[in-house]
Amino acid sequence: MNLLTVTRINDRKKISPYERRICMVKKFSRRDFLKRSSTLGVSAVLGGAALPHMFKGSLFTLDNEPLDITVVKGQDYAANTYKAVELLGGIEKFVPKGAKVALLPNTQSRHPGTFTKPDILRAVIQMCKKAGAKEVNCLSWLRQKHWDSTGLSKAVEEEGANLKLIDMKDETQYKAVPLANGKILKEAKIFNDLFDSDVFIDMPITKDHAGNRFTGTLKNYMGLNFQAINGTFHTGDRRREISDDIEHLDQCIADLNLALKPTLCIVDGTELITTNGPFGPGELIKPMKVIAGTDRVAIDSYCTTLWGMKGTDIIMIKKAFEHGIGEIDLNKVKIKEVSI
């Protein structure tokens, strides 16, 4: 059975093998499990690799020190990626042998600082295969030209992974996921292929966005969701200065993130645009950092600091924090930064 299972909070008729495994490990009753899941505000829980994060503040403990975020700076972006994951405990902690892995890089534009670097994608595919992954798939509803123009399709092909392009208009290729705690969005529609996976790795580039100032792990979820629903995230006027539209957009993104948890997030903070996002071209800065962890709110809060902001400056991040998706206060987050 696949580790990635959808747990509907209101379905109390049947206990799944996934729930049973959680209850056995933690000696929780089904009622305890449902209560904990409801408290977290999630409509879906992802894979065995996510279990420790459900029950503790951090995913892994190294030398008795829990790490929430790892940040590696250097000119070799693939090496940064390897090291960031190593500091979290290694890819084997996230990718079981024989697993089917789904990756979600950002391929939105071909301009520098707007897409996940091919070297980072290569490193992740290589790590997954080294861990014994049965299959590694990049999922996207963007067209082939987006993957070709960024060099990402070449990385996928050369590293032996698969590119699965989903029809953005074919609703049958998406699975409805109810969002009981969504304030605006009450249902997401997520790629069917994602639910046939054991591991989900969210791989955005962090950058400017004209609509809400910031793109990161939270906003990258729109790349999983049925495009017609994404279109409702705007009230009509998409200019940054229209605060009502930003509020609506960011609440919808926060609601969407209730749909499921990633097994791991790996963020490209190597070079990014700070203006004219998300497509660019824009003003480019080069922090040369790769950021890894599982707490989307904490990671996005950290990434805002790369160009002089903080998590509370971004409505989307605050809304996700209010949903209980993660920690916004970086003083409460254990971060390890290294240079190589």
Long-range contacts of 160-164 (CB under 8 A, 24+ apart): 160/125, 160/129, 160/136, 161/103, 161/125, 161/136, 161/137, 162/135, 162/136, 162/137, 162/138, 163/137, 163/138, 164/137, 164/138, 164/139, 164/140, 164/193
pLDDT value at residue 243: 66
pLDDT in tens, 18-39: 333 333 333 333 344 333 333 3
What's the whole-number mean pLDDT along residues 130-155? 92
Q: Regarding predicted confidence, which is higher, 73 or 223?
A: 73
Q: Does 34 fall in a domain?
A: no
Q: Does 24 fall in a domain?
A: no
Q: Does 304 fall in a domain?
A: yes
Q: 66 lies in which domain range? A: 57-339
% of the chain exceeding 90 in pLDDT: 65
d(CA 15, CA 282): 51
Q: Does 249 fall in a domain?
A: yes
- The CATH number assigned to the domain holding 204 equals 3.40.50
Confidence of residue 17 (pLDDT cuts 50, 70, 90): very low
Residue with tokens 């400056």: 313
User: Domain tally for the chain?
Assistant: 1
Q: How far apart are the first and last CA of the chain?
A: 40
pLDDT value at residue 57: 34
Least confident interval from 32-36, 162-166, 228-232, 271-275: 32-36
Look at residue 295 and tell me whether its pLDDT is greater than 70.
yes
Q: Does 141 fall in a domain?
A: yes
Confidence of residue 10 (pLDDT cuts 50, 70, 90): very low
Look at residue 64 and tell me whether its pLDDT is greater than 80.
no
Look at residue 153 and tell me whether its pLDDT is greater than 60.
yes
Spatial contact of 166 and 139, defined as CB atoms under 8 Å apart: yes
This prediction's pTM: 0.80
For residue 176, the number of C-alpha atoms closer than 13 Å in the C-beta half-sphere is: 6
Q: Does 32 fall in a domain?
A: no
pLDDT value at residue 297: 98
User: What are 230's two structure tokens?
Assistant: 């994404």
CA distances from 314 to 318, 319, 320 (A): 7, 9, 10
Q: Does 204 fall in a domain?
A: yes
What's the whole-number mean pLDDT along residues 166-191? 93
pLDDT in tens, 308-334: 999 999 999 999 999 999 999 999 999
Q: Does 33 fall in a domain?
A: no
